[in-house]
Amino acid sequence: MSAPPEEPTVAFPQARRGRREPRPSSSLISSSITATTATTVSAPLEALERDEIRRTRWFCYVAFVISVVAGGSLGWLHGNRTAMQIMLLAIAASAFAVAFMLYRTRDPVRFRRPSTALGWVVIAAGATTAIPFFGAFSPAPVVLVLGIYFTGLGKSPRMAVVLYVLAAGVQGAVGLLAITGLAPDIGLVQAGNLDLRQQLIIQGLVQFVFAMTLVIARLSRRAQRLAVEELEREVRISAHREALLIEAREQLERALRPGHGRFTGQQIGAYALGSVLGRGAMGEVYEASGPGGLVAIKLLSQTSLGNATHVMRFFRELRTAAAIDAPNVVRVLEIGEHPVPYLVMERLEGKTLAELLRSRRAMATADVLDLVRQVGAGITAAAAAGVVHRDLKPQNLFRHGELWKILDFGVARALDQGDTLTAGQIVGTPSYMAPEQATGATVDHATDLYALAAITYRALTGHAPHASGDLAETLYRVVHTAPRRPSDLAPRLPHEVDLVLAIGLAKHAVDRFASAAELAEALGDALAGELAPDVRSRGSALVRAGAWADAAQVVPHRRIARG
């Protein structure tokens, strides 16, 4: 009825109240960065955006050098005085625009603002003033080619087209005026020795080079994006295979263990114990036969019998589980204390969610929605009985026929009682633990709702929202960082699911759904493309505040009050 846990339930000592929260050591931060880099690649657009910011910074440095050299050279050239003055003013304006762009590249959030386009326009307009001064038939258009190619590699095709039209328009207008004689050719380099046909051919070639430069740049941008997407897919597949290998190793170790336990063949009350169904942190679960047929009996392990805390926790599970009567919570038939504390439960046939997720990367959306509805009903019944589970995870959810059952209330706590048993400790499973639980703060029904949202994330995407090879690192991520956007990990998911899970996994309990029914309803609406406007607004606000990793890399998490 149970399986080895995907991740152990842990109890960490909590920092004393009033003390400053300890900062992670440099080694922890380093390992976090290394682990994240090794197993996760940012979404293609994020990676390309960071590359664009770096390229823009270097482009600004080069543009500044060109401006200085060009401005210093004008004094040695004897061109048209008016054109020279216009060009000098343009160089000065471009220098300010370069400084503005460098400032914007220091913060990706500022760089994304539409007003950043103003810097590009000023720089491009400044560069076009070289055409009248040097002449439409001079090498000056080479500078414009560089600008067209650079902006063509950027995120915005609209900006690339605008700058191309600006450059091509100025070049074409100056060239046309010179060819037709409608205005005097004031450029340093003139076409006096070229006939009309040669001038037209040269200007046509310049326009052709401009257009082809834009096309090549956009094709290069597309090739970059496809390459990053392919790399991301390969890394995700590799990480999933690695996780499957670890789970397979654990399963093999379990299979090699004997099916008999220390109580196999013995009598507990009216029940004859058979083989071991599973082992957990504190006890063993045996198959047993009794007057009503087959049952499952959980007994404290020999190690736990000598641990007063484990004994008290086990007795709490007996009392807690017996107090909840709901179809989606494992049914308790009997409790006893002799010869060892034991809990008699209904015998379940099937697999845990953890076992099901080992056999497939992610679940169908309809199955996940059914899971959320049923498990949500279970934790709602627990809340009605005044109980917070505190350790919801795939290991503790069992598929019995068409029913999902919640198992293991060993670390549950009563809402209306002080928790002296685990006071001063952080209890639960880090990957599915709410931030307030990870910091040892007060937990309530919202804590279980967070865990249900984390399980939903895992079942839909094939990845836990926060996971690493180190428990302390995972706890740090739960509290301080944002997970990957679900639709990045599972592109088949509607973007509305991102909004729903942003609410479900909100760092602050007040920002989450008020009930499991709300979460299930919102998820169903999102999957159907009919998300309610108020839920969409709440989710969008949290996404803008950094609910997902693409924004959280640059925006600290902010509290969004529920409206």
Catalytic residue IDs: 391
SS3 content of the chain, % helix, strand, coil (to 5): 55, 10, 35
Three-class secondary structure of residue 218 per DSSP: helix
> Residue 379: which of 286, 442, 449, 309 has the closest Cα?
449
C-alpha to C-alpha distance for 135 and 140, rounded to whole angstroms = 8
The H-or-E segment that residue 284 falls in is strand 283-290
Which segments of 291-383 are extended strands (E)?
293-300, 332-336, 342-346, 350-352
According to DSSP, the residues that pair with 342 across neighbouring strands are 299, 336
C-alpha to C-alpha distance for 195 and 198, rounded to whole angstroms = 5
- DSSP-derived letter for residue 306 is T
> Residue 407: which of 277, 303, 512 has the closest Cα?
277
Structure tokens at 216: 């090549």
C-alpha to C-alpha distance for 461 and 445, rounded to whole angstroms = 25
Three-class secondary structure of residue 272 per DSSP: strand
Asked whether 433 and 475 are in contact (CB, 8 A), the reply is yes
- Distances in Å between the Cα of 386 and the Cα atoms of 197, 390, 416, 427 are 90, 13, 7, 18
C-alpha to C-alpha distance for 148 and 143, rounded to whole angstroms = 9
Can you give the C-alpha Rg of the chain in angstroms? 33
Three-class secondary structure of residue 467 per DSSP: coil
